[in-house]
Amino acid sequence: MSQRELVVLGTASQVPTKHRNHNGYLLRWGAEGVLFDPGEGTQRQMAFAGLAAGDITRIAVTHFHGDHCLGLPGIVQRINLDRVAHPVDVYYPASGEVYFERLCNATAFYRTVELRARPIAGAGALPAPDAPFGIEAVPLSHPVEAFGYRLTEPSGHRMLPERLRARGVRGPDVGRLQREGSLVVDGTTVTLAEVSEPRPGQSFAFVMDTRLCDGVHQLASGVDVLVIEATFLDADAHLADEYGHLTAGQAARVAAEAGAHTLVLTHFSQRYRTLDAHRAEAEKYFTGDLFIAEDLARIPFPPRR
């Protein structure tokens, strides 16, 4: 599977509303499914979205406020109930270890799946066995310890069929050439550079509850898809700063200054019944592909740059 998309499971902040579930976002990246911040009701939202527990390969929790983690017990028990065949890595702030343990053992259930805890003690690369991307954690600014996540695919090469045919490279030799960098065909050495062109890797950043800080800019820098909270509007910027959040305008300015390709705004306060003003505010600053996230929306990755 080569599909890359973000499946939005919930977009509310603090409390769910009639139209917005608690947070929840599943990033589908080929065979990988990274579930970010499973809030209350995430398991049911996955059913509405046509997603299965087996689609989850990793879980990433930014912090331990309830709207970002109260769905974790149901998700953990569901992957065990469904006897998911692969291990599931779970990333979370190490300072919240006590909450992680409580959530994962909230009730009695039969444990069948290997849940690999990956507590985060500070900024840097995280273990990501067998993943086609690297995962980096970056500290954010919130009343409790919080981290943002950035996934980055290594750059590679795109094979050019017409050049392969011209040099007589076919079948299993194409894979050998990609692995080894060169091979001999009919007495002539063919190099990878001769039959391919550079293929830039793609990147994804997930920025939840935070004030403006260096970490926000670091995560957003040059990213292909930026998912970022926009809890408030600029008119309520004083509330955003007091409670450790961003406004739609701030998030859009960050995206524009960072050169992000696609911007996804989410995590909306219940005080806003409609989100037209969030879109209008963001469009003042960001001219790229802009999505105001809606529950159960599917947002595709942009083409490679």
Structure tokens at 210: 């935070």
The CATH homologous superfamily for domain 4-153+206-300 is Ribonuclease Z/Hydroxyacylglutathione hydrolase-like (3.60.15.10)
Of 37, 55, 67, 224, which is the active-site residue?
A: 67
Question: What pLDDT does 157 receive?
Answer: 85
Q: What is the mean pLDDT of residues 151-171?
A: 92
Low-confidence winner among 152-156, 196-200, 216-220, 261-265 (lowest mean pLDDT): 196-200
> Is 67 assigned to a binding site?
yes
The answer to whether 238 is a known ligand-binding residue is: no
Look-up of token digits 């930026």: 226
Q: Is 261 annotated as a binding residue?
A: no
Q: Where in the chain is the domain with CATH 3.60.15.10?
A: 4-153+206-300
Q: Residue 1 pLDDT more than 60?
A: no
Is residue 245 a known part of a binding site? no
User: For the whole model, what pTM was predicted?
Assistant: 0.91
Residue 196 DSSP label: E
Range with lowest mean pLDDT among 24-28, 171-175, 221-225, 259-263: 171-175
Q: Do the strands 156-159 and 182-185 form a parallel or antiparallel pair, or are they unpaired?
A: unpaired
The answer for residues whose C-beta is within 8 angstroms of residue 243's C-beta and 6 or more apart is 143, 231
> 3-state DSSP call for residue 99?
helix
Q: Is 82 a catalytic residue?
A: no
Q: Is 157 annotated as a binding residue?
A: no
* Band of pLDDT at residue 2, cut at 50, 70 and 90: very low
- Determine the Cα–Cα distance for residues 29 and 1; give it in Å rounded to an integer: 8
- Read off the pLDDT of each residue in 199-209 and give the average, rounded to a whole number: 96
Average pLDDT over residues 11-17: 94
Tell me what pLDDT residue 227 has: 98
Instruction: Say if residue 41's pLDDT is above 80.
Output: yes
